[in-house]
Amino acid sequence: MELDPTTIAFALPVVAMAFAAALYVFSAVCVQRIAGELAVGKWWYAWVPFLNVYLACRIAGKGILWTVLLFVPVVNIVMYVWLCLKFARACARRRLYGVLLMIPVLDLFALWNLAFSKRPIVAQGAEANG
């Protein structure tokens, strides 16, 4: 069975969009759960583009300025590193989780662990044990 180049040209973007949608749903579910456990912001922000970045900043204990800086070229690199580290600390985890959030593929496992692990998440402002 030989595949027609037109079929491949059509199927490849469809598969890529389905994969991207699955990743978006995965990250939204994880961020929604973390926001719900920390009682930070509105949980449904996790599903809205741009508001999900704002919600991640709120989870990390930062505000609208950080959200804006995450969309500024070059500055966003430094801000993203810092945000990942703060995000992990807000979830009462070590900085290692923040580093894992910066590494492609491993970030999925780290985000899943931050959202669904049995280890209790400490509300902002409280000290984390361990």
Per the domain annotation, does 129 fall within a domain? no
Residue range 20-43: average pLDDT? Answer: 94
Domain that holds residue 26: 5-116
Choose the weakest-confidence range: 22-36, 37-51, 69-83, 112-126: 112-126
What share of the chain has pLDDT > 70, as a percent?
90
Percent of the chain scoring above 90 in pLDDT = 72
Whether residue 81 lies inside any domain: the answer is yes
Write the CB contacts of 79 (distance below 8 Å, at least 6 apart in sequence): 66, 69, 70, 72
Number of domains in the chain: 1
Predicted structure pTM score:
0.82
Q: If pLDDT is split at 50, 70 and 90, which confidence band does 41 have?
A: confident
Each as own residue / partner, the long-range contacts of residues 115-124 (CB below 8 Å, 24 or more positions apart, any chain) are: 115/29, 115/30, 115/31, 115/33, 115/34, 116/30, 116/33, 119/92, 119/93, 120/92, 121/34, 121/37, 121/38, 121/91, 121/92, 122/92, 123/38, 123/39, 124/38, 124/40, 124/61, 124/90
100 domain residue, yes or no: yes
Handedness of CA 51, 57, 61, 62 (dihedral sign): negative
- Does 127 fall in a domain? no
Residue 22 forms part of a structural domain: yes
Residue 123 lies in a domain: no
What's the rounded mean pLDDT across residues 87-97?
91
Q: Is residue 83 part of a domain?
A: yes
pLDDT of residue 10: 86
pLDDT (0 to 100) of residue 130: 40
Confidence tier at 127 by pLDDT (50, 70, 90): very low
Residue 17 lies in a domain: yes
Other beta carbons within 10 angstroms of residue 29's beta carbon come to 16
